[in-house]
Structure 1
Amino acid sequence: MNLLVIYTHPNHKSLNYAFLQKVLEGSGENSRVSEIQVLDLYEEQFDPVLVFHEHKRRRDMHADPALEKYRNQLKWADKIVFVYPIWWGRPPAMLMGYIDKMFASGFAYRDNGKLLPEGLLKGKSVVCVSTMKGPAHYPLYWLNNAHKALMRKALFQYVGIRKIKFFEFGNMERRNGKQKERLQQIYRYFKSVAR
């Protein structure tokens, strides 16, 4: 199994970075994982801003040479892991910009004249590891599960990915937020996860 980990947090001393390390530690001890690549969007200085004009059209984004490296990573991966905080009920703008650019028509899906397009990333699986300051059930009860609906339905299922797992950890800025237990949970999951 090829594992692509997309990390989106500007601080390498953050709890999110600790979660990234546990993903890598567990995956490194998992005999099913043959290779791991990490894409740190901030360290990479990924440009999340979409630009379209008469020389750069949206319909050509799937073939943009500046994004070829990232397309190759997504093609290569069997499992894609996203590690990020939830800010204002959704992933950071940096990650959303990556999604806007990478999950483009002609690469991630193809219009087929039906209600839903043909997903071109079938067979892959996704794990989202996210943290938030608020209570664990805040997105479910206050935001109608907007974060998971956005990621699951509006993105991953749209491009053909059906196997999706969420770890959505709340109260992560509290002293008694069970951070150590959550980190161990992620380590154990990735140590044994299959495709």
Structure 2
Amino acid sequence: MFALIVVANPSKNSLSHAMAAAATRALMERGYDIAFHDLYAEQFDPVQPTGEQANTSSSSEVVEQHCSELARADLIVVCHPNWWGQPPAILKGWVDRVFRLDTAYAYPSGVGPEGIPVGLLRARHALVFNTSNTPREREVSLFGDPLETLWKNCIFGLCGVASVIRRVYAPASASTPEERTAWLAEVKALVENAA
């Protein structure tokens, strides 16, 4: 089995990184082969150049590697903070360049971009772990939950991943060591259940 783990947080000491590490350990214990990407550490270029406007191939070996890993993954784990109800720009750019036509989705024969695509990803499960500094109740009551819709419907759902589990851990900045320990235990349990 093969898992793709992506973390997008500029701080190596972040809860996002701790969650990605917990997921990695859990999957390694279950015998998974893992592709792990820390987008900030790797300095992934989130800007889609003009030559990629058709979004079916790239001259970047890094992008091609990420696309190959996404297509092969049986399980996908994404860890990132909630910034303005969105993922960090580096992660959004990763999605733009890697979840591309003929890798993550396609159009049936005779159907153009105005039609309904079909998902191509083989992953059975995707898990998205978010941190936030806004208490969950306030986040939902004021803003809804844009990240839930984004990951479940607009990205993974459209690309054929039927089981998407997303958790928000908040407020991260005011969390206690005990809360963080409990959150990381939940991350580990959710990953183990999906594996």
The TM-score range, normalised by the shorter chain, is 0.7 to 0.9
TM-score with structure 2 setting the length? 0.88
Amino acid at match of 1:153: N
Q: Taking every aligned residue pair, what percent have the same amino acid on both sides?
A: 25
Consecutive unaligned residues in structure 2, runs of 5 or more? none
Distance 1:76 1:106, change over 3 A: closer
Amino acid at match of 1:89: G
**Structure 1 residue 115: Cα displacement:** 4.1
Distance 1:119 1:165, change over 3 A: same
Distance 1:19 1:115, change over 3 A: same
The CA distance in 1 between the partners of 2:190 and 2:154, in whole Å, is 26
Task: Spell out structure 1 runs of 4+ moving beyond 4 A.
Answer: none
**Structure 1 residue 147: Cα displacement:** 1.0
How many residues are aligned here? Answer: 188
Q: Secondary structure at the match of 1:63?
A: coil
Task: Tell me whether 1:161 sits opposite 2:161 in the alignment.
Answer: yes
* Structure 2 partner of 1:63: 57
**Structure 1 residue 35: Cα displacement:** 1.1
* Structure 1 partner of 2:86: 90
Distance 1:65 1:57, change over 3 A: closer
**Structure 1 residue 188: Cα displacement:** 2.7
* Structure 2 partner of 1:181: 182
The one-character-per-residue Cα deviations of 1:4-50 (angstroms, maximum 9, x if unpaired) are 100111111122211122112222223xx421220111111110012
- Is the contact between residue 76 and residue 123 of structure 2 (CA under 8 Å) also seen in structure 1? no
Aligned-residue CA RMSD (Å): 1.8
**Structure 1 residue 175: Cα displacement:** 4.0
Consecutive unaligned residues in structure 1, runs of 5 or more? none
1:97-112 aligned at under 5 Å gives the runs 97-112=93-108
Amino acid at match of 2:131: T
**Structure 1 residue 193: Cα displacement:** 2.2
* Structure 2 partner of 1:3: 3
Distance 1:180 1:57, change over 3 A: closer
The one-character-per-residue Cα deviations of 1:70-97 (angstroms, maximum 9, x if unpaired) are 1111122100100111111111111000
Task: Tell me whether 1:25 sits opposite 2:25 in the alignment.
Answer: yes
